[in-house]
Structure 1
């Protein structure tokens, strides 16, 4: 035991110059290490050398070697002094070594805290080039190049509490994407409270492209609301159950300037007869007291293959600020198959807004404008992707993909919504760039709306360049 304590002391001393170089969040200062090291016997004279880092390393090592030799000689002398020495000397040594071990343990804990900053900050800056065949001015200019967004991400933990948040600034608005605190009950169970992702369908995204799938534009992909969620994860099962009090802006009477300024689509009103598709709704509504659940079964197959199937559901109330004026529900079944570098995704979803008043659809909002969706519809998605590692200058990976979305069986009839995105994503260090060729009809951001009746297809070529840090 005596030799083990000495070895721990030697290890702590030899590591000290490197520890003094820790310069990022939660650092262990020279003063803190000095306070710990001052209590080590016969090493007090070398604290200044430790503060001088590499300059004093050789001398410290020499002193440690002498210390080891002294302790070893003392042990040999005690063994030759007979029974009386063994009865007296060991108690003093044990007390000293126990205190030294405690100090070394404290030093190790301080170093661990220094090497693991509690909160990390990242983000992205993005810009994009757009060419649209349905926009005459844009076509005449051969497209436009614009700023897309600046975003900041916060993640990490303080004690046992986890934090995750993201805020985004666009040219025309700003919004929170998510903001929650959580707690890991054990290696499988985690709780989250705040603006957290609604568990539904293929996660994290039911798409590969910059444009998501058509599910996103009806609030069924990458949506975040305000509530509480419980998650379970193991190699074979995912399980999520959540309760959401309202959307991320506080519901129908939330204290916000513009309800349409948000990252993901939510229902914001009822579209009455005579209103335009993009008009501010005369009857405002919002999500209230919603429940959501998702379960997925995962299989790790041979030869680098994996498969997942899952079921999702959500239901809740629609409120006009005074009373509940309807119900909302959605269900989905999905599957994901991966083999080697290929990934195949498929999902079938259906949603339904059962409102108390006659309407021409549901008003949704995001990205600083209102839109209209049918009050009920079915959506199908089918995606394929191939990831190819490369070594071409800074480019390290190319992901080729084709994402297909179909929205049909719309309440009230009308033409289907169709969107196909053929593209490639390029990874090059901190740069991640989407090259997307989009062909669609009745699809937002491709010259249409989910409530449209167009029969012609539009085309958009989009390059989104993002630097992620």
Structure 2
């Protein structure tokens, strides 16, 4: 790029019309990435009373946009310390190509984000919301997405015949779960629950509409729905559905996010495809980041997030945001207890560095307690709230 700018400047000088470097057209291709580190403390982890520190993610990203043709791809590598499982993995986060039309609408083909509910995220904190761990936030599948032009009314429509697929990881990970997005996946005998379930998501259709109202469109109200099939690996397809309503609004530095989502997974599991004596059709196996876990087959997810943008700077630091993100999974199965996640935190930045300071409180949650199966049935031994502290620093380039 420096060479190109120099040549343009030289050509302008020879022609008698100097061209400033800042006037040179920007390249439609950009390459970037990030490397992130975490300190984590878990209240239930006696082996690491002082917590632990290590690499979280290294990633490489490529974007292209010349006004008409566009695309984006990102690949990630994770290596977690022993306190976090002591494993590594790599996967394609997303990868798609697309076209922008004269009315500013777009079509994307490839591994792209599911537009369901609040977008692009239903959270402010680093670990997102319970919707993420149930497969309804920050999720990417393989297919075609149509996005309307920007405006007071917007809509998106996507069809995804397949999920994002599985990639590579260490010998202590479950192969089908080496991915970023939480999908319904085949269980694993060694690193999972040994249920013998072999489900996979297929033919997912998602439609979303949102209205932006008020001065500057500061209030957004939306509705979205999902329909798809579950291939159980035994020649039987069943149905799955979800519907969500959401609101996003701002009043000065205060911002609010609200969402309610109901989902239902129809299953056709055999009597032996279970664990712990549970009804085999009362849960499905979801997997990502190396491991699968059971999630209630029917439930409601409610999200309520509030944040405050703190003005000003403190030395080299700025973009301060204080937030509290609350989410709950209410399972519509008798005997299955609610899963709760609350995150109070602060995010800020300095140049290319980004920071999160999160205090997490929850129960019946595989990332917030020793209750690995907590998003489905759970033991009374895990009824109390547990805590997790996460301090993260990331360098983005």
| Map 1:22-171 → 2, pairs under 5 A | 23=2, 27=4, 30=7, 50=10, 115-139=25-49, 142-157=50-65, 160-171=68-79
Shift, 1:277, TM fit: 9.9
Higher strand residue share: 2
Matched, 1:189 2:108: no
Distance in structure 2 (CA, Å) of the matches to 1:434 and 1:332 = 28
Distance in structure 2 (CA, Å) of the matches to 1:356 and 1:384 = 40
* Count of aligned pairs between the two proteins: 367
Distance in structure 1 (CA, Å) of the matches to 2:331 and 2:235 = 30
1:294 aligned partner: 208
- C-alpha change, 1:130 and 1:250, in structure 2 (3 Å) is closer
| Secondary structure of 1:249 counterpart | coil
- C-alpha change, 1:158 and 1:345, in structure 2 (3 Å) is closer
1:463 equivalent among 371, 391, 395: 391
Cα shift readout 1:258-297 (whole Å, capped 9, x = no counterpart): 11011120011479xxx89932541211111111001000
Q: Which 5+ residue runs of structure 1 have no aligned equivalent?
A: 1-21, 34-48, 65-103, 252-256
- Contact 2:185 2:199 (8 Å CA) reproduced: yes
TM-score (norm 1): 0.73
| Map 1:315-464 → 2, pairs under 5 A | 315-321=227-233, 323-357=235-269, 359=280, 360-447=282-369, 448=371, 449-451=374-376, 452-453=378-379, 454-464=382-392
2:124 aligned partner: 208
Distance in structure 2 (CA, Å) of the matches to 1:250 and 1:277 = 15
Distance in structure 2 (CA, Å) of the matches to 1:339 and 1:277 = 47
TM-score (norm 2): 0.85
Shift, 1:398, TM fit: 1.0
| Secondary structure of 1:403 counterpart | strand
- Contact 1:278 1:371 (8 Å CA) reproduced: yes
Higher helix residue share: 1
Shift, 1:319, TM fit: 1.1
Stretch deviating more after TM superposition (157-166 or 423-432): 157-166
- Contact 1:410 1:416 (8 Å CA) reproduced: no
- Contact 1:239 1:293 (8 Å CA) reproduced: yes
| RMSD (CA atoms) | 2.9
- Contact 2:245 2:261 (8 Å CA) reproduced: yes
Distance in structure 2 (CA, Å) of the matches to 1:361 and 1:322 = 17
Matched, 1:227 2:143: yes
Distance in structure 1 (CA, Å) of the matches to 2:324 and 2:190 = 33
Distance in structure 2 (CA, Å) of the matches to 1:113 and 1:411 = 62
2:176 aligned partner: 259
- Contact 2:331 2:337 (8 Å CA) reproduced: no
Distance in structure 2 (CA, Å) of the matches to 1:411 and 1:363 = 16
- The structure that has the greater radius of gyration is 1
1:309 equivalent among 211, 221, 227: 221
- Contact 2:353 2:396 (8 Å CA) reproduced: yes
